[in-house]
Amino acid sequence: ETGVTQTPRHLVMGMTNKKSLKCEQHLGHNAMYWYKQSAKKPLELMFVYSLEERVENNSVPSRFSPECPNSSHLFLHLHTLQPEDSALYLCASSQESSTGTANTGELFFGEGSRLTVL
């Protein structure tokens, strides 16, 4: 496989369920990201992992819990979500410079996991 792979592609869950989204990148990158995409709104950065260490957490509610066991895998654990959390969740990866978070904007995205919370 190549690129960034996300599973599942679609997920329907109740507000009391616990589920996880998975992302795997085959590009040898050293940074991974979770974004939330809602209709008619800009992409919202949720979490950034650089060299498996979380470097950014944009005031995301604790019902979203990320995990990055290694540089190729990223998870987003979901529990007690709200209907307004329904959205497309995108994983992305990039290669950061050796000096740190250069973030030149060259991200490689997966196809996303479409989440519906009932």
Partner 1 sequence: QKEVEQDPGPLSVPEGAIVSLNCTYSNSAFQYFMWYRQYSRKGPELLMYTYSSGNKEDGRFTAQVDKSSKYISLFIRDSQPSDSATYLCAMAGGKLIFGQGTELSVKP
Note whether 46 and 58 are within 8 A (CB). yes
For the bound state, the minimum distance from the C-beta of residue 15 to partner 1, rounded and expressed in Å, comes to: 25
Between CA 52 and CA 106 the distance in angstroms is 19
- C-alpha Rg value of the chain to the nearest Å: 14
Interface with partner 1 (CB under 8 A), residue from 77, 106, 116, 118: 106
Three-state DSSP class for residue 15: coil
Question: Segment near partner 1 (CB under 8 A), from 14-22, 24-32, 77-85, 106-114?
Answer: 106-114
CB atoms near residue 107 (< 10 Å): 18
Among 46, 74, 107, 115, binds partner 1 (CB under 8 A): 107
Q: Does position 87 bind partner 1 by CB under 8 A?
A: no
Q: Scan residues 37-66 and list those touching partner 1 (CB under 8 A).
A: 40-43, 45
Asked if residue 33 lies in contact with residue 21, where contact means CB atoms within 8 angstroms, the answer is no
- Contact residues: partner 1, CB under 8 A: 4, 6, 40-43, 45, 90, 92, 103-112
